């Protein structure tokens, strides 16, 4: 068959529509975007081929049709044997198609064939199937990536001096990807039937990979200042609204992050019927969404509305928007009800321009979500609710409020909500956080007219307060962590000391009095020294040397040199033993009795060395095993459960008292707690969240477990949870610290008090049986906007 892509016939209409060469700076950005997309897609494709080969093998195993099984196996072999060649071929064809699209010409043979709709009857059946397969793959990507493609197309249009892409295709559209993949398969010698199998397989997997790439490209272009903000609009047509209006990509979740005009998107959804009350009717809808001033009212009307809202904000109902609206001084100061509904219902509100009316609808819906948010305690929610009118004014004056996450008003709302999560009624209303928030809200109500700068000033003041509060909370939590840390060090020190004593007793047959002393007395000395000073300290080394000298002193002294050494050693040894006994509070009469027995054993050691040795019937190895077994039986029951054992036995949280203020706190622990993930920052930045992955003590592997075990291992410091208490009530606690020694989790309240410890296994069990759950840490306004967007798309809202 004739290859239409190599036809000698030149389409003059296509030639006349070729694009002019982009500027050098635009070309540099295009080339970088092309490289990013080609590399990421080829890597993703390579990974998908690995997974695809496994999936095809599984399909071949379960099918009973021999022909189909052979087809699956042939497809699997192609992916396995030619994975690298296909990925490389895809990358080459993708780059070629991209460059051709930049020039405005046909990108590849497949597309050229696809453009000959009137000649489909002349296409060979195999080529027709290939064309349909390419279209199917491209459509799958289109369907999954419509929101991301909306931004890609607008930004590519700017770089190509072709805003509506009228002189050629988007170089990054799904057809470019589909064509590159099909051409790579063709070069690999892939039969048509295998190609169709692979297209069906990759139509399920490739779209999600493409979505990630499109998001990255959009972000890259935003960083390059290529159309950072995109206004969503609907083209007018003679019939009113274009057929595509109802499905226009909104970019809802990514609008704010990608810099798109989120307010325009919300308007569009509202106008398209998501919430009927504020939408213009009939043929005026397109003008409303496009922002036609004739539809939305004049700037003077907006100023009148803002002035009326300012009077309401100050509590002056006379002359404000109040006629029949049901507003009262009590409802305005309450904050727990949505007064924006009353403003909308007022008679005077009917004179508002459409832009203001739709803005009021959107802000009212946002506050519906905020006032229903169970994360925020009711008392704090009422304080935030008092900001309804100021936030509405900000939204009317500055539409960037909706799309800029770092807008001072959004940051203030988010910070107020986050700080409120752990607030408890027991803290009271006369001081602390509640009084601070109350004062800041009142300051905004008193001082905010039309200058949004007051929100930045109030935010800075609030962040400074939170920073001070956080420092105090970290110090208090640090004292609790120190108690846990000390107990865990003592537990580990006890195990280490046990092993050291066991090794000495296993190596030598010792008199019973010396055995008992080492097991029940000197092990306590070792534990205390290890806990206080650690294994690298001189005190620990000296305690071990004292034990070794004691053991050696009661062994047979067979040579004159050994007897001389014993005589020289005794004064120092006895003094060190005395010091150790006093350190653990050993009674004086017990000390005297021990030293009396020790003198006897020293005499026996000297006498035994002067006599021939008795021959034992046991081998040294057998004797050592017996001594070790006897030691284990005698020494392990100390009667005091460890902290870890206590937590595990109780099956829940164990409350830990804080260390006394007179006791110095480890500064490293306090610093670690102070750096816990939080969005509070005086400078307006965000602290990186650190995922904690505790490992087993002494490097033992942690089992993978289920999703709840994974959830616990991935908790970040600063994460809030809600958990059931013994009386059935729910309480909130924040993860403040994870012990590096034994992996215990320390939770505290907002102020760093009431320390609760729990093991990861027990916490996972609580998540599993519903006795505990995470509190969503997403920013308040983001959650409110996402909720509004979803409900508007589903058409479930009513603004009446």
pLDDT in tens, 378-404: 999 999 999 999 999 998 888 778 877
Domain check: are 273 and 145 in the same one?
no
Distance CA(258)–CA(252), nearest Å, equals: 10
Domain check: are 573 and 433 in the same one? no
Query: Do 104 and 182 fall into the same domain?
Result: yes
Mean pLDDT of 613-622: 51
Cα–Cα distance for residue pair 711/764, rounded to 1 Å = 8
| pLDDT on residue 119 | 37
Residue environment code for 39-54, b if the CB has 16+ CB neighbours within 10 A, otherwise e:
ebbbebbbebbeebbe
Statement: residue 493 has pLDDT above 80: yes
Same domain for 700 and 609: no
Q: What is the pLDDT of residue 238?
A: 32
pLDDT at 36: 92
Q: Are 624 and 650 members of one domain?
A: no
Residue 521 gets which letter from DSSP?
Answer: I
Phi–psi pair at 725, nearest 5 degrees: -95, 175
For position 120, what pLDDT does the model report?
36
In a domain, 262, yes or no: yes
What residues have CB less than 8 Å from 22, skipping those under 6 apart?
30, 102, 159, 160, 161
Which residue range is the domain that position 771 belongs to?
646-778
Residues 182, 178: Cα–Cα separation, whole Å: 6
**Statement: residue 359 has pLDDT above 90:** no
What pLDDT was estimated at residue 633? 58
- Position 150 scores a pLDDT of 84
522 belongs to a structural domain: yes
Specify if 478 maps to a domain. no
Instruction: Tell which wins on pLDDT, 684 or 360.
Output: 360
Alpha helices in 557-702 (DSSP H): 560-583, 588-610, 620-635, 643-650, 667-674
pLDDT confidence of residue 295: 38
Same domain, 532 and 655: no
Locate tokens 């049901």: which residue? 326
Residue 626, pLDDT score: 62
How confident is the model over 544-554, as a mean pLDDT?
A: 93
What whole-number distance in Å separates Cα of residue 280 and Cα of residue 712? 50
In degrees, rounded to 5, the angle at the alpha carbon of residue 675 between the alpha carbons of residues 671 and 681 is 130
Indicate the range of 154-163, 409-418, 616-625, 715-724 predicted with least confidence: 616-625
Determine the average pLDDT of the residues in 70-77: 88
Beta pairing partners, 516? none
Q: Is the pLDDT of residue 136 over 70?
A: yes
Count other Cβ atoms within 10 Å, centred on residue 339.
24
Looking at the structure, tell me whether residues 402 and 492 fall in a common domain: no
Helix (H, G, I), strand (E, B) or coil at 27: helix
For the residues 329-357, what does the mean pLDDT come to? 74
CA atoms within 13 A on the CB side of 412: 27
Same domain, 271 and 303: yes
b/e string for 102-137 if b means 16 or more Cβ within 10 A? Answer: bbbbbbbbbbbbbeeeeeeeebeeebebbbebbbeb
Lowest mean pLDDT among 203-212, 287-296, 319-328, 550-559: 287-296
Give the model's pLDDT for residue 534.
Answer: 83
DSSP assignment of 73-138, as one string?
HHHHHHHHHSHHHHHHHHHHHHHHHHHHHHHTS--SHHHHHHT-GGGGGGS-HHHHHHHHHHHHHH
Does some domain include residue 197? Answer: yes
Range name among 149-163, 183-197, 446-460, 677-691 with the lowest pLDDT average: 677-691
Distance CA 363, CA 125 (A): 57
- Pick the range with the lowest mean pLDDT from 426-440, 593-607, 704-718: 704-718
pLDDT at 685 over 50: no
Pick from 635, 665, 698: which residue ends a domain? Answer: 635
In the chain, the percentage of residues whose pLDDT exceeds 90 is 21
Predicted local confidence at residue 640, as pLDDT:
53
Rounded CA-CA distance 630/623 in Å is 11
702 part of a folded domain: yes
Whole-number pLDDT of residue 380: 93
- CB-count exposure of residue 167 (10 Å: 0-12, 13-18, 19+): middle
pTM: 0.54
**How far is it, in rounded angstroms, from Cα 187 to Cα 176?**
17
- 464 C-beta neighbours (distance < 10 Å), count: 12
Comparison of pLDDT for 578 and 322, the residue scoring more: 578
State the pLDDT confidence band at 620, using cuts at 50, 70 and 90: low
Residue 672, in any domain of the structure:
yes
Total domains in the fold of the chain: 4
Same structural domain for residues 177 and 309?
A: no
Same domain for 733 and 595: no
Q: How confident is the model at residue 661 (pLDDT cuts 50, 70, 90)?
A: low
Q: Tell me what pLDDT residue 585 has.
A: 92
> Per the domain annotation, does 472 fall within a domain?
no
* Tens digits of residue pLDDT in 156-214: 888 888 887 877 788 999 989 988 998 999 898 888 888 888 888 888 889 889 999 99
Question: Mean pLDDT lowest for which of 190-204, 219-233, 383-397, 632-646?
Answer: 632-646
Residue 240 φ then ψ, to 5° = 105, -90
CA distances from 710 to 50, 702, 722, 770 (A): 26, 11, 18, 16
What is the rounded average pLDDT for all residues in the chain? 76
Are the C-beta atoms of 423 and 732 separated by less than 8 Å? no
Q: Is 240 part of any domain?
A: no
Question: Where does residue 420 rank: exposed (0-12), middle (13-18), buried (19+ CB within 10 A)?
Answer: buried
Q: What is the mean pLDDT of residues 232-244?
A: 34
Identify whether the C-beta of residue 422 lies closer than 8 Å to the C-beta of residue 477: no
Give the lowest-confidence range in 92-96, 646-650, 779-783. Answer: 646-650
> Which residues lie below 8 Å from residue 252, measured CB to CB, with a gap of 6+?
147, 262, 265, 786, 789, 790, 793
Same domain flag for 629 and 714: no
Same domain, 507 and 443: no
Q: Is 762 exposed, middle or buried (CB count within 10 Å of its CB: 0-12, 13-18, 19+)?
A: buried
Q: Please tell me the predicted confidence (pLDDT) of residue 545.
A: 94
């Amino acid at each position: 068959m004739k290859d239409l892509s190599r036809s000698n016939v030149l389409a003059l209409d296509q030639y006349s529509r070729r694009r002019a060469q982009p500027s050098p700076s635009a070309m540099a950005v295009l080339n970088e975007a092309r490289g990013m997309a080609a590399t990421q897609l080829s890597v993703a494709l390579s990974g998908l081929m690995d997974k695809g080969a496994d999936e095809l093998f599984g399909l071949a195993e379960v099918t009973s049709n021999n022909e189909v099984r052979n087809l699956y196996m042939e497809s699997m072999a192609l992916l396995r044997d030619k994975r690298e060649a296909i990925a490389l071929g895809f990358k080459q064809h993708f780059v070629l198609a991209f460059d051709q699209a930049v020039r405005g010409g046909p990108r590849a043979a497949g597309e050229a064939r696809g453009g000959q709709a009137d000649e489909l009857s002349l296409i060979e059946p195999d080529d027709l199937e290939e064309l349909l397969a390419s279209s199917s793959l491209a459509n799958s990507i289109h369907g999954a990536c419509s929101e991301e493609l909306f931004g890609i197309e607008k930004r590519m249009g700017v770089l190509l001096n072709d805003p509506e892409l009228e002189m050629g295709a988007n170089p990054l559209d799904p057809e470019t990807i589909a064509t590159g993949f099909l051409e790579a398969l063709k070069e690999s010698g892939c039969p048509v039937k295998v190609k169709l199998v692979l297209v069906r397989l990759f139509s399920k997997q490739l779209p999600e990979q493409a979505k990630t790439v499109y998001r990255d490209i959009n972000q890259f272009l935003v960083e390059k200042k290529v159309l950072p903000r995109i206004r969503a609009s609907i083209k007018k047509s003679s019939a009113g609204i274009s057929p595509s209006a109802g499905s226009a990509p909104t970019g809802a979740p990514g609008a704010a992050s990608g810099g798109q005009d989120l307010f325009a998107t919300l308007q569009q959804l509202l106008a398209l019927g998501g919430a009927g009350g504020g939408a213009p009717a009939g043929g005026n809808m397109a003008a409303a969404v496009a922002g036609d001033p004739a539809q939305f009212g004049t700037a003077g009307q907006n100023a009148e509305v803002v002035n009326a809202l300012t009077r309401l904000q100050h509590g002056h109902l006379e002359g404000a928007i109040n006629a029949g609206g049901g507003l009262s001084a009590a409802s305005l100061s309450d904050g727990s009800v949505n007064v924006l509904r009353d403003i909308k219902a007022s008679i005077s509100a009917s004179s508002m321009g459409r832009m203001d009316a739709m803005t009021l609808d959107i802000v009212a819906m946002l506050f519906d979500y905020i006032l229903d948010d169970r994360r925020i305690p009711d008392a704090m929610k009422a304080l935030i609710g008092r900001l309804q009118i100021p936030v509405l004014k900000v939204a009317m004056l500055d539409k960037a409020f909706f799309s800029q996450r770092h807008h001072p008003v959004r940051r203030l709302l988010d910070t107020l909500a986050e700080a409120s999560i752990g607030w408890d009624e027991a803290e009271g209303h006369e001081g602390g956080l509640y009084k601070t928030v109350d004062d800041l809200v009142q300051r905004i109500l008193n001082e905010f007219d039309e200058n949004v700068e007051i929100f930045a000033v109030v935010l800075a003041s609030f962040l400074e307060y939170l920073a001070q509060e956080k420092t105090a909370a970290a110090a208090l939590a640090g004292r609790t962590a120190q108690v846990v840390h000390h107990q865990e060090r003592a537990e580990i020190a006890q195990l280490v000391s046990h092993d050291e004593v066991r090794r000495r007793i296993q190596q030598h047959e010792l008199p019973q009095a010396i055995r008992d002393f080492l097991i029940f007395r000197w092990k306590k000395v070792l534990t205390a020294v290890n806990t206080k000073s650690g294994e690298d300290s001189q005190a620990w080394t000296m305690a071990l040397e004292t034990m070794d000298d004691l053991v050696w002193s009661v062994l047979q002294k067979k040579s004159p040199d050994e007897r001389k050494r014993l005589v020289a050693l005794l004064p120092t040894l006895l003094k060190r033993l005395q010091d150790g006994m006093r350190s653990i509070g050993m009674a004086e009469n017990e000390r005297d009795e021990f030293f009396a027995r020790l003198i006897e054993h020293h005499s026996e050691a000297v006498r035994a060395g002067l006599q021939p040795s008795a021959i034992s019937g046991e081998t040294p190895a057998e004797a050592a095993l017996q001594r070790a077994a006897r030691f284990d039986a005698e020494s392990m029951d100390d009667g005091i459960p460890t902290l870890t054992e206590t937590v595990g036995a109780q099956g829940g949280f164990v409350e830990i008292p804080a260390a006394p203020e007179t006791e110095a706190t480890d500064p490293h622990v306090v610093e670690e707690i102070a750096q816990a993930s939080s969005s509070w920052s005086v400078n307006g930045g965000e602290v990186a969240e650190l995922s904690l992955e505790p490992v087993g003590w002494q490097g033992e592997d942690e089992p993978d477990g289920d999703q709840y075990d994974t959830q616990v291992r991935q908790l970040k410091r600063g994460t809030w949870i809600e958990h059931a208490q013994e009386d059935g009530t729910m309480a909130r606690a924040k993860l403040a610290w994870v012990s590096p020694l034994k992996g215990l989790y320390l939770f505290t309240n907002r102020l760093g008090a009431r320390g609760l410890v729990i093991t990861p296994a027990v916490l996972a069990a609580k998540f599993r049986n519903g006795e505990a759950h995470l509190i969503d840490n997403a920013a308040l306004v983001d959650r409110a906007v996402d909720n509004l967007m979803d409900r508007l798309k589903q058409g479930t809202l009513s603004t009446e």
